[in-house]
Amino acid sequence: MQRFLDNLKVCNIIPNISRINLVNELKDKIRETKVEVIPHKFFYYDLECSYNWIKLMGDTTNYPLAYQTRNMLQINFERIINIIKEEGSPHFDLLSLGVGDGYDDLRMLESIRKILFGDDTSRNKITYYPVDISYDLINNALNLFIDRIPGFVNKRMEIIILNSDFEKLSAYNSIINRYSRNPKLITLLGSTLGNFYELTLMRAIQSLMNNDDYLLIGVDCCYENQSIDKIIKKNSESTYGLQFLLGPLRSLDTIQIEGDTIHIPSMAEDQITTNTSDQPLTSLPPSEVATIIHSINLGNHKILLTMSHKYKIQPLIDFFRTLGLTLVEKFIPSHSENCNYCLFLLKFDNSTKSDYEEQSLIETVRGIIDKDPSNIDKEKITNKVDEISRYLKNPSTPIDQRNQAIDKLKSIQSNGIVNHDDLAEILKIFRSRQ
Residue/partner pairs of 167-174 with CB below 8 Å, 24 or more apart: 167/200, 167/201, 167/204, 168/204, 169/131, 169/204, 169/205, 169/207, 169/208, 170/204, 170/207, 170/208, 170/399, 170/400, 172/14, 172/208, 173/207, 173/208
- Comparing 7-21, 98-112, 381-395, the range with the smallest average pLDDT is 7-21
Full-model pTM:
0.78
Q: Count CB neighbours of 378 within 10 A.
A: 12
Is residue 171's pLDDT more than 60? yes
Q: What is the mean pLDDT of residues 359-383?
A: 74
Question: Does the pLDDT value for residue 358 go beyond 80?
Answer: no
Q: Closest Cα partner for 362 from 297, 406, 301, 312?
A: 406
Spatial contact of 97 and 166, defined as CB atoms under 8 Å apart: yes
Residue 10 has pLDDT above 80, yes or no: no
| Residue ranges, CATH 3.40.50.150, the chain | 2-223+312-352
The Cβ of residue 151 has, within 10 Å, a number of other Cβ atoms equal to 8
Mean of the pLDDT values across residues 278-294? 77
Whether the per-residue pLDDT at 88 is higher than 60: the answer is yes
What count of Cα atoms within 13 Å lies in the side-chain half-sphere of residue 433?
A: 11
Give the residue, 3 or 367, on which the prediction is more confident.
Answer: 367
pLDDT confidence bin for 96, thresholds 50/70/90: very high
Beta-bridge mates of residue 187: 96, 216
Q: What is the pLDDT of residue 7?
A: 42
- Say what the pLDDT of residue 376 is: 61
CATH of segment(s) 2-223+312-352: 3.40.50.150
Query: Parallel, antiparallel, or unpaired: how do β-strands 289-298 and 301-311 relate?
Result: antiparallel
Compute, in degrees rounded to 10, the torsion defined by CA atoms 217, 197, 95, 66: -50
Which residues are registered as beta bridge partners of 311?
Answer: 221, 289
- Please report the pLDDT score of residue 236 as a whole number: 54
pLDDT digits (tens, 9 = 90+) for 189-213: 988 999 888 888 998 898 888 888 9
Task: For residues 403 and 226, give the distance between their C-alpha atoms in angstroms, rounded to a whole number.
Answer: 35
On the 0-12 / 13-18 / 19+ scale of CB atoms within 10 A, 69 is: buried
Q: 63 to each of 75, 208, 216, how far by Cα in Å?
A: 20, 31, 22
What integer pLDDT is reported at residue 199 of this predicted model? 84
DSSP tag of 45 = S
What mean pLDDT is reported for the chain? 80
Report how far residue 159's alpha carbon sits from residue 153's, in angstroms, rounded to the nearest whole number.
9
> Per mean pLDDT, which range of 227-231, 254-258, 273-277, 374-378 is the poorest?
227-231
Residue type (1 letter), 382: T
Region of poorest pLDDT, from 125-134, 157-166, 215-224, 227-236: 227-236
Overall average pLDDT of the 302-308 stretch: 83
